[in-house]
Structures are given as C-alpha cells and as structure tokens.
Amino acid sequence: MNRALHETCHRMGKLRILVTNPEVHQKAIELLQERYEVDICTELPYPTREQILQRISGTDGVLWCSKVKVDSEMLDKAGPTLKVLATMSAGYDHIDVEELKARGIKFGNTPYVLSAAVAEVAVLLCLATARRLHEGRLKIETNNWESYRPQWLMGQDIQGSTVGIVGFGGIGQAIAKRLIPFEVKQIIYSGHSPKPQAKEFGAVFVSFDELLRHSDFVIIVCPLNEETKGMFNEEAFNKMKPNAILVNVARGGIVDQPALYEALKQGKIFGAGLDVMIPEPLPTDSPLLSLPNCVLLPHVGSATVKTRTAMAVLAAENIIAALEGKPMPAPV
C-alpha cells in the first residue's frame, strides 16, 4: 500500500512525508501539507516500532517524533527515496547519525527552541530538591507535620551556592541566566573547552573533577554519547560534597542509577532531581521511587505549548529546506 501511495504521490508531482506521531502540532502538519503528501502514524498513545516500519517505506522525508531507534533496519525499510529525516528533539542518541551520513540522508534536530523550557525545569528541580518538596509532601500525606521543631525539614540554599553545569551549550547558558537572580556565589562549568559566552554569566571553566568537588548543585545538560555514558558513577558521587544536589535534564544514561540510589540512600549527596532516567517510563518498582530525597519528573523538560509547537515547526522547516535544496535551519 505504501508503494502504491508513493507512486501516486509522484504522479501528482508530490513528495511523500511521514510524521511518526499523531500529536505533532497542526502548524507543522499544515506547513508540510502545503507542499507534500503527508502520511501520519495515527496509533495512540504512540506508534510502535513495528507500526512505523509498516508505514515508512517509500517516503521522501520523515518528521521523527518517537523514542524508537532509527537504525539500519529502519532506513532499509524506508528505502532509497528517503532524502531527509528531522527529529523533533534536541538530543539524537536514538538516531544512528553515521548511518544517515553514509546513505547521504540529511538530518536535522530542534535545538535552542527548547532551551528556555528545559532551563526552567532544571531550576525547578534545583529548588524542589533543595527545599525537600517531595519529602514534605510525604509528610503531609502521612500526617507527620513537625513544624514546631526548628530543625525540621532543613533544606539547602541556592543563594550563595556554587552551581556546576556539565555542558555549557544553549540549555546550560539558559540555566545560568535564570540562576543569576537567585544570587548564586559562582557558576562553574565543564566540557571539552571554554565557551566565549561564559563571560556573560561570569561562569568559570573547570575540569570535571573540580566541578564535582566544589559544586553545591550539579546540573547535567551534556549530550549522551560514549564519552558521557555512565559518567556519574560511584567514583563521581564519592567526589561530590555531602550537601550537593544532582539535577539531570539531559539523558538518563549519563547517570549510573544504581550508584545514584546508593549515594542518596547512604547520604553521600543531599538529593537528586531527575527529569530523565532509565528506562522511560520508569518502572513503578524502581528503587528511586522509595527515596524521599529524590524528586522525579516524567521527562517533561520541553513540555510547554509554546515550546513543543516551535519544535514541531522547526522540524518541518528542516524537512522543507532539505527537500528544496536550501540550508536546513538546524542541521546536525
């Protein structure tokens, strides 16, 4: 059926685009429909790998909004007509970029448009973990208020703290911008090399080890790759301050979760706030859910109406530019 649809589209002079999620914003769909034949995976709550495989054959472009892996099997099924794939995400650890390059398929993502929203969630997790929001809610639910005790539910201050940001790209800089009004003492960051933009925030480039040893808040915003996978392990947690708070808004695979669980349980660090974890969805029997000093969100960093709309539109614009032989606005 896909082959017949593809042949029909080409007889009509239209290329065929596959959108892999039924909830991609209508603005992006309309942009594509103005120029192409658009096929949308309609399965709810989201299409499976098998369902995408059934539809992807004979497409010219794909707007990828899925956690399903784009690998050689998926690209083989798409066939030689595929010219561009645009993921509706900033991260692309679920995409085999080298395989796309080897096949001459253009690839784009959606950075920057989500920086503000993700930065807001990072600050939210800093505050919620530092002020023991989850633990406080548990106290309310179990009728264990002890507010008459002056040492009860004592938290950590952001004011006067040292904040370490692992990765200082667009999201890292957006976080720094939002933390300055909280009167932090210092912002430090680690990565491959110093960033010229860091001067704007008074941020200081340090080694990863220095960042771990000196930070009161450690915020992860680096990409997941072979270098960063599991970099927050037992050794890393042993170097952190006992009052330190870990916040992860990047990818779950950057943190060794069993090691994090032990660090939190044993009091090696004060707490953790996670918007990302492994696996997703997190099983309801995960040990992390048993910890009062672990604040969890279900990967909602970019989940605002404005941001998700902008991400969808940018992904569509990446496809349009690639198919029209123009520079993609956000190529990888």
Helix residue spans in the chain (DSSP H): 2-11, 26-33, 49-56, 72-78, 97-102, 115-130, 133-141, 170-179, 208-214, 234-239, 257-265, 305-323
Asked if 214 is an active-site residue, the reply is no
What SS3 class is residue 224? coil
CA distance 73 to 267: 45
CA distance 78 to 107: 15
Q: Which two tokens stand for residue 257?
A: 């979760």
DSSP-assigned letter for residue 217: E
Beta bridge partners of 300: none
Q: Which two tokens stand for residue 83?
A: 């010219």
Q: Which helix (H) or strand (E) holds 20?
A: none
Look up tokens 């950590």; give the residue. Answer: 156
Beta-carbon contacts of residue 96 (< 8 Å; ≥ 6 apart):
69, 70, 71, 72, 75
- Please choose, from the candidates 39, 92, 35, the residue with its C-alpha nearest in 3D space to the C-alpha of residue 323: 35
- Which one of 6, 25, 134, 299 is the catalytic residue? 299
Which one-letter amino acid corresponds to residue 302? Answer: S
Which residues are known catalytic residues? Answer: 299
